[in-house]
Amino acid sequence: MTTTIDLVSYEDALASYDPVMGLEVHVELGTNTKMFCGCSTALGAEPNTQTCPTCLGMPGALPVVNATGVESAIRIGLALNCEIAEWCRFARKNYFYPDMPKNFQTSQYDEPIAFNGYLDVQLEDGETFRVEIERAHMEEDTGKSLHVGGATGRIHGASHSLLDYNRAGIPLIEIVTKPITGAGERAPEVARAYVRELRELIRALGVSEARMEQGQMRCDVNLSLMPKGAERFGTRSETKNVNSLRSVERAARFEIQRHAAVLSSGGTIVQETRHFHEDTGSTTSGRVKEEAEDYRYFPEPDLVPVAPSREWVEEIRASLPELPLARRNRLREEWGVSGTDMQAILNAGALELIVQTIEAGADATSARKWWMGELARSANEAGVAPDRLAITPAQVARVSELVAKGELNDKLARQVIEGVLAGEGTPDEVVDRRGLKVVSDEGALGAAVDEAIAGNPGVADKIRGGKVAAAGALVGAVMKATRGQADAARVKELILEKLGVTEG
Ligand code: ADP
Ligand code: MG
Ligand code: ZN
């Protein structure tokens, strides 16, 4: 990988060119069985134990369409505001690759099940950007090759390859955008926001867990540049199988800089696939791109056409859940937070946790405060997502309840959370074991206040003379004496009472 090229800076690239992007996202459906046979789709089985003559492409074996797969495709299509075909067929996409036993992939070509839709996505500043959808079609996954003997599992230098066909035939939905124009310098951000919104949507629909790190969802990033003000698109590159949100953004950004470097030095972009490298954030050349005719597409003769009745489509439409963007907008109103706050919550991976904490009885403000403050920090420090922390939303709700009841103040609550995270037990157990209750015994508090007044006669005089603000120093002394376990507001009241001063 020695293609060193002098990239043009991102700003310079955008000053001269407009990016055009196309995103192709593959989603593995979470059906129990494969798309065209009854084999299990469960992950983690011994290689080649979930296969049959159909998904192994044996002569004479006949495929049957998985109805749940079709229903999932329609759900996705409807959620993406697409039209649903009244009649469509599968097609054979012919090519040879060892992990594809039939030597063709059963896919859809010019008759996709869903087409002409859009997905609104939200950018960091809370603004909405509409991404037009070209189509969503059904197809099947390939098997997996394992190259042995070479470095880092690459085919290059390998002595032999092993094949596992358990994945062959698992249903996939491929969702293809129309060319995305007009995003300008925000194109990489739009790409990331789109894939994220799509992921949330797929999860909300319950059709897949869409875990990118497990390959259940992967994105091809097509990108081209055209000189500012031009009308005709430039030649695109296609960076394949990008498998994290961050990488989608970085790949788009890198390609913008690379295309600009090639174009501005008088070169031409070749249409090719490229690979993204996490470590360097760069892409390298893959293979020169096939044209559609290279695949010799033709309608699949072994499968009947898919002709979903309008009644069925409407039934599915009626069963769609509230979609993620609409839901976030509703929650924003309910919680009274801004668009950027909501983006921050989403970025922190805290949305569902906050929702669950509220469902467990906390008020929105404190649920948000804990997950976006203390707990976000702990997650950050531990380098994990907040849902991996050793505290449940119900426990966070219990902590806020104790604060609301006056049994804990914020400082003590933080210690309780710290204790729960450290495995010391439930919030109540931590309170007991660490002795963290707010001192509400008026006698004990009164004594502490008397002591503070006696120990700071100068301050006490100032307060008597009307400088109520000086009470802070005495409150501090009491808090120190009670190891933070007093209710600061009550302490202040007592101080003023004892010094015969009324506030305000
Ligand atoms: P292929 O299967 O060859 O990759 P598709 O039409 O399925 O072709 O997908 C190409 C993707 O790239 C689509 O999202 C399309 O909108 C987008 N696209 C097409 N032309 C360009 C271009 N010149 N620059 C950027 N994206 C493009
Ligand atoms: Mg493609
Ligand atoms: Zn099978």
| pLDDT tens-place string over residues 329-387 | 999 999 999 999 999 999 899 999 999 999 999 999 999 999 999 999 999 999 999 99
187 domain-assigned: yes
Verify whether ligand 1 is closer than 6 Å to residue 22 (CB atom): yes
Residues around ion ligand 3, judged by CB within 5 A, are 37, 39, 52, 54-55
Residues 461 and 414 in one domain: no
**Owning domain of residue 398:** 348-434
335 domain-assigned: no
HSE (CB half, 13 Å, CA atoms) of 241? 9
Give the pairing type, strands 144-148 and 160-164. antiparallel
Give the pairing type, strands 171-177 and 128-140. antiparallel
Verify whether ligand 1 is closer than 6 Å to residue 294 (CB atom): no
375 domain-assigned: yes
Contacts of 405 (CB under 8 A, 6+ apart): none
Element (H, E) at 368: helix 364-372
| pLDDT tens-place string over residues 264-299 | 999 999 999 999 999 999 999 988 766 767 899 999
Residues 191 and 55 in one domain: yes
Alpha helix stretches (DSSP H) within 155-287: 187-205, 245-264
Which of 236, 256, 288 has most ligand 1 atoms within 8 Å of CB, for mutation? 236
Distance 436 CA to ligand 2 centre (A): 59
The DSSP bridge partners found for residue 23 are: 221
Residues 43 and 145 in one domain: yes
111 domain-assigned: yes
Residues 367 and 258 in one domain: no
d(CA 345, CA 392): 17
DSSP label of 346: H
Residues 299 and 362 in one domain: no
DSSP label of 45: P
334 domain-assigned: no
Contacts of 324 (CB under 8 A, 6+ apart): 197, 200, 201, 204
Distance 109 CA to ligand 3 centre (A): 23
CATH number for 491: 1.10.10
Verify whether ligand 1 is closer than 6 Å to residue 252 (CB atom): no
Distance 279 CA to ligand 1 centre (A): 26
338 domain-assigned: no
Verify whether ligand 1 is closer than 6 Å to residue 223 (CB atom): yes
Residues 92 and 209 in one domain: yes
d(CA 415, CA 429): 12
The pLDDT assigned to 1 comes to 45
> What number does the ligand 1 atom closest to the CA of 174 have?
7
DSSP state string for 240-266 = EEE-SHHHHHHHHHHHHHHHHHHHHTT
d(CA 31, CA 392): 29
Helix axis angle for 324-335 and 339-347, nearest 10°, is: 120
CA torsion through residues 313, 319, 324, 330, sign: positive
CA distances from 109 to 102, 139, 219, 335 (A): 17, 10, 19, 45
Contacts of 18 (CB under 8 A, 6+ apart): 181, 184, 225, 226, 227, 228, 229, 230
Residues 72 and 41 in one domain: yes
Verify whether ligand 1 is closer than 6 Å to residue 66 (CB atom): no
Verify whether ligand 1 is closer than 6 Å to residue 295 (CB atom): no
> What number does the ligand 1 atom closest to the CA of 176 have?
14
**What pTM was estimated for this model as a whole?**
0.85
484 domain-assigned: yes
Residues 384 and 296 in one domain: no
pLDDT confidence bin for 225, thresholds 50/70/90: very high
pLDDT at 200 over 90: yes
The pLDDT assigned to 294 comes to 85
Verify whether ligand 1 is closer than 6 Å to residue 273 (CB atom): no
Verify whether ligand 1 is closer than 6 Å to residue 20 (CB atom): yes
Percentage of the chain exceeding pLDDT 90: 81
Residues 451 and 410 in one domain: no
Residues 423 and 462 in one domain: no
d(CA 408, CA 336): 25
Contacts of 295 (CB under 8 A, 6+ apart): 93, 94, 95
Residues 108 and 203 in one domain: yes
Distance 329 CA to ligand 1 centre (A): 31
Domain count for the chain, please give it.
3
Residue nearest to atom 10 of ligand 1 (CA): 22
Which of 24, 194, 240 has most ligand 1 atoms within 8 Å of CB, for mutation? 24
DSSP label of 176: E
> What number does the ligand 1 atom closest to the CA of 290 have?
3
d(CA 142, CA 440): 66
Residues 165 and 265 in one domain: yes
Average of per-residue pLDDT across 423-446: 86
Distance 272 CA to ligand 1 centre (A): 12
> Among 244, 287, 236, which Cα is nearest to 25's?
244
Average of per-residue pLDDT across 438-461: 86
| pLDDT tens-place string over residues 305-344 | 999 999 999 999 999 999 999 999 999 999 999 999 999 9
Alpha helix stretches (DSSP H) within 383-487: 393-404, 410-421, 427-434, 442-455, 457-464, 471-481
DSSP state string for 293-340 = GGG--EE-TTSPPB---HHHHHHHHHTPPPPHHHHHHHHHHHHT--HH
318 domain-assigned: no
Give the pairing type, strands 282-288 and 272-277. antiparallel
| pLDDT tens-place string over residues 61-76 | 999 999 999 999 999 9
Distance 236 CA to ligand 1 centre (A): 7
